[in-house]
Structure 1
Amino acid sequence: MKKIILALSVFALLFTSCSSDDDSGSRDPFIGNWIFFQSLENGTEVALEDCEYETTIVITSSGTFTTSLYDDDLDGGCELEFTVSGTWENLGNGQYATTTDGDTFVQDINFEGNTMSFEDVEDGVTYTDVFIRQ
């Protein structure tokens, strides 16, 4: 179940619209290379498989992103499960929109130090995925 939630969260995070840096000229905190760091269910950490730590999100200043989701293969190694690319837009107040294949998703993203996190509530359970800047 947690793999499905992670995949949906990452996929949802990456559904956005095109954007540029804000008018102040400062760098958007969303821009960078991010690696999956932690998963929580209702605030309790969920154990991750080794390969899940290879899941990455690359966010560019030109308004594009690519997410690569990894999982264990049958031989004990890691395999790329899928890659999603699209565009993103900073909507302000911590909200970001991502667009992939014509579908747009808006997500609140929290930044703290070198981490970003986002939540998804499903059937009364709050799932939080945390990514750390590489």
Structure 2
Amino acid sequence: MGPPIEIKSWTKILQYWAKGDPQARETTKRLMRHRLNGYTAVTDAPCSQLVPELLEIYPDAKVICNVRDPEAWAKSLAQIWSLALMWFLRGVLLPLPSMRHFPSYISLLSVQWRNLYGQNSEDHGVNTYKRLG
């Protein structure tokens, strides 16, 4: 909902992160450092899945891990994904300067989640929450 550079920069970060090689990892961290310049905290995706990289960039950072009801978390996740992956989303969001980039961002976010949590999208609910908790 902010300026387009916000979502575009996170999309670029996720593109490098997905490559997984050492050079791309260094580029990911460099881009994250640049994107987060001036911020004092981050929350939610994609940063919640980039904790190792964040701790390399900011070794003195505090990490706060909250606990949610697994069923409520899974329901929330399912609602977000069902809305985010609607086939007509690109057309609906096209007139909105920042949000027109959301489908590309969410697509890369799903790559990040599959890499971290497993290929089976059915498992990205209660089972994933319990396995990682």
Give yes or no for TM over 0.5: no
- Hey, which of these two has a bigger chunk of strand by percent? 1
- Hey, which of these two has a bigger chunk of helix by percent? 2
Structure with the greater alpha carbon radius of gyration: 2
Higher relative contact order (CA 8 A, sep 6+): 2
